[in-house]
A and B are shown apart, each in its own frame.
Chain A
């Protein structure tokens, strides 16, 4: 119970590295997603087949969702955010397969994803705005606020990792507890909640990453063209 709730189980050792079931499941998901991407994008034509129409629907939905928050740089950010959405969704839903734990209920996996978001925020900010404009946005309202801005960068990364981990882990644990107390087939309603929660958490993780990147990008832009952008993506921060 103790081990099942918190840590990941070690499957085998690769030299000095211990390979946990989190890593193995992530590899499986990566393989599955790459295979799906290869199958869906194989032999694209002008007039779309059913297979291609499915792929186009997914990509266009993701793109319109990204473009809503970030109208100017949607194409640049789409690969990263879209991958996050699809990967986190698949990883969350993988917990429903019997015998498989979702990788996102391990704090190491969600922390890795959060670090990825943290680094990509700075990368996109520096890449699209330049060093000086990006560094200036840390002193945005006033120069006194630099420590607070840096602190908020760190704490929101921590919160991003903890939120996904806590949600997935608590859902899995709740199902386990109900199974222990009430017995076979009783946790099924909780597992239905798991489906809803998996989708919502994947959406939230990707959207927060998107908003963080948008915050790094569009702060200097806001001073240039003050009222063109809709205030919605600023209100959130």
Chain B
């Protein structure tokens, strides 16, 4: 395949935008669901507040790390694209 530098950078930018869009949208939905069920559990059993909060925070951290992976990949594509080296050679 033969593409020039212009379309290569255009392609990486578009792909990075798609990555960060999907990578924040889907974890946001997942986090919303987690928070909803935590709030429901909290309303049903207020005495279990501490363990619910701790579990919720850890679960949110797990979901959040997915969004962070997407961010890291988007940043690598934008600033440190490893394919660029082969491309410029």
Contacts and interface: CB of A to CB of B under 8 A. Distances in A.
The prevalent SS among residues of A at the interface is helix
Contact of B80 (A6, A204, A236): A6
A230 B45 CA distance: 15
Interface in B47-82: 50-51, 54-55, 57-59, 61-62, 64-65, 68-69, 71-72, 75, 79-80
Contact of A200 (B57, B59, B62, B80): B57
A73 interface: no
Residues of B contacting A: mostly? helix
A211 B75 CA distance: 30
Interface of A: 2, 5-6, 68-69, 159, 162-163, 166-167, 170, 200, 203-204, 207-208, 211, 230, 232, 235-236
Given A6-B75, A200-B57, A232-B55, 16 more contacts: A5-B79, A6-B80, A68-B50, A68-B54, A69-B54, A162-B65, A162-B69, A166-B69, A170-B68, A203-B57, A207-B54, A207-B58, A208-B61, A232-B54, A235-B55, A236-B55
